[in-house]
Amino acid sequence: DTAVSQTPKYLVTQMGNDKSIKCEQNLGHDTMYWYKQDSKKFLKIMFSYNNKELIINETVPNRFSPKSPDKAHLNLHINSLELGDSAVYFCASSQGRTATNEKLFFGSGTQLSVL
């Protein structure tokens, strides 16, 4: 069983479209995250949720909207996709409320290509 699973693995779409990436964890963790990894491999946090409550909301365009229906799921919806949104998006989870001293478990990533 995959601990943190995200779908789809690849997403190719046109500018202006709306798309969603789904993430589920079966570890019983309380906190989930979305990270963006750019073409230079730089990892930057976007959001974190603890028990469905938004904890971190970094400087991300409001076209990005996370949704956590329950603590095992954190989906990412992106409106009006732009070329600059092309990146790999990682979902992660941890047991505690923040990533302070927690080991993060990552999904395998979703490579988003906006044409």
Partner 1 sequence: AQKVTQAQTEISVVEKEDVTLDCVYETRDTTYYLFWYKQPPSGELVFLIRRNSFDEQNEISGRYSWNFQKSTSSFNFTITASQVVDSAVYFCALSVVTGANNLFFGTGTRLTVIP
Chain positions 79 to 98 lying near partner 1, rule: CB under 8 A, are: 88, 90, 92, 98
Q: Mask: binding to partner 1, 26-65, rule CB under 8 A, as x and -?
A: --------------xxxxxx--x------xx-x-------
DSSP-derived 3-state class of residue 52: coil
Toward partner 1, which CB reaches closer, 72 or 104? 104
Chain CA centroid to CA 105, Å: 12
Provide the pairing of β-strand 105-106 with 43-50: unpaired
Tell me the C-alpha to C-alpha distance, in Å, between residue 98 and each of 3, 7, 17.
Answer: 19, 24, 32
Q: What is the C-alpha separation between 25 and 78, in angstroms, rounded?
A: 21
Toward partner 1, which CB reaches closer, 16 or 61? 61
Q: Which residues bind partner 1 (CB under 8 A)?
A: 40-45, 48, 55-56, 58, 88, 90, 92, 98-109, 111
